Structure 1
Amino acid sequence: MKIQLDHAFVPSKNIRQSAILLAKVLDVPHEESGGFVAVHINEGLTLEFVKAREPFSPLHLCFRVTQEEFDKTLARIRAEGIKYGSEPGRLDMKVNTSYDGSIVYWSEPDGHQWEMLTISYARPSVQ
């Protein structure tokens, strides 16, 4: 069996707000269970938002999607009034079209930075 990432903890000050916002933007299910809120990214990966007990460094996670999914997700980002940008830390409200695809970055209340792209620049042979 190939190694697959099953789940990851995402530290948060407000687990419910952060998890529900990400689930809404990505249009994926979430569920509250015990002391965390799980966001089911796909059939194999869950992000578990957990209460941060001490200061934490923001995470950067990238989601690869089809162009159709990209357009729909960007529309939800805009509808939520979330500032986004074409490069990390740049909130220029533009889409990066480098690497023959579309890329956008946005942050959430805890400072985690999400990236969405249609063509991977990290693994160009895998699409």
Structure 2
Amino acid sequence: MIQLNHTIVMAHDQDRTARFFTEVLGLPEAGRFGPFRTVRPDNDVTLDVLESGGDIAPQHYAFLVGEQEFDAIFDRIVERDIAYWADPHHGEPGVVNTRDGGRGIYFDDPNGHNLEILTREYGSGPDRRG
């Protein structure tokens, strides 16, 4: 068995970043483990937020969500006036993609990380463009 257990999310302000993840995604309050603020999605992988005083290379974090969760997250994004796009390169602003018969959007966290929520895994439906 091989499973992803955790990944490190670099942040300029770890408390603000952890709060952004938990509030926008509707997750429980972040915990603490050593120097990390730990955000725990439903599949037991943790996002370990670590504060950095230097430059941060933007990363991509994608979250597979149910239809109801998508609606709730999307509502929070709109309520907070967070820009979103249909594509990872931010070329289609304000559009929800419908790849593979699902829905998906991309948006940035406070550090410039490219976050994605999607309701269908890419390659799982009739549209196989990925």
TM bracket, shorter-chain basis: 0.7 to 0.9
Higher strand share: 1
Q: CA deviation at 1:34?
A: 4.0
Query: For residue 92 of structure 1, what is the aligned residue in structure 2?
Result: 93
Residue ranges of structure 1 left out of the alignment (5+ in a row)? none
2:41 is paired with a residue whose SS is strand
Query: For residue 15 of structure 2, what is the aligned residue in structure 1?
Result: 16
Query: For residue 106 of structure 2, what is the aligned residue in structure 1?
Result: 105
Q: CA deviation at 1:36?
A: 2.1
The one-character-per-residue Cα deviations of 1:13-32 (angstroms, maximum 9, x if unpaired) are 11111110111011111124
Query: For residue 83 of structure 2, what is the aligned residue in structure 1?
Result: 83
Contact 2:63 2:118 in 1 (8 A): yes
Contact 2:56 2:111 in 1 (8 A): no
Identity %: 31
Alignment RMSD: 1.7
Residue ranges of structure 2 left out of the alignment (5+ in a row)? 126-130
Q: What amino acid is the match of 1:50?
A: L
Q: What is the TM-score with the length of structure 2 in the denominator?
A: 0.85
Equivalent-residue separation in structure 1 for 2:78 and 2:92 (angstroms): 12
Q: What is the TM-score with the length of structure 1 in the denominator?
A: 0.87
Q: What amino acid is the match of 1:98?
A: R
1:85 is paired with a residue whose SS is coil
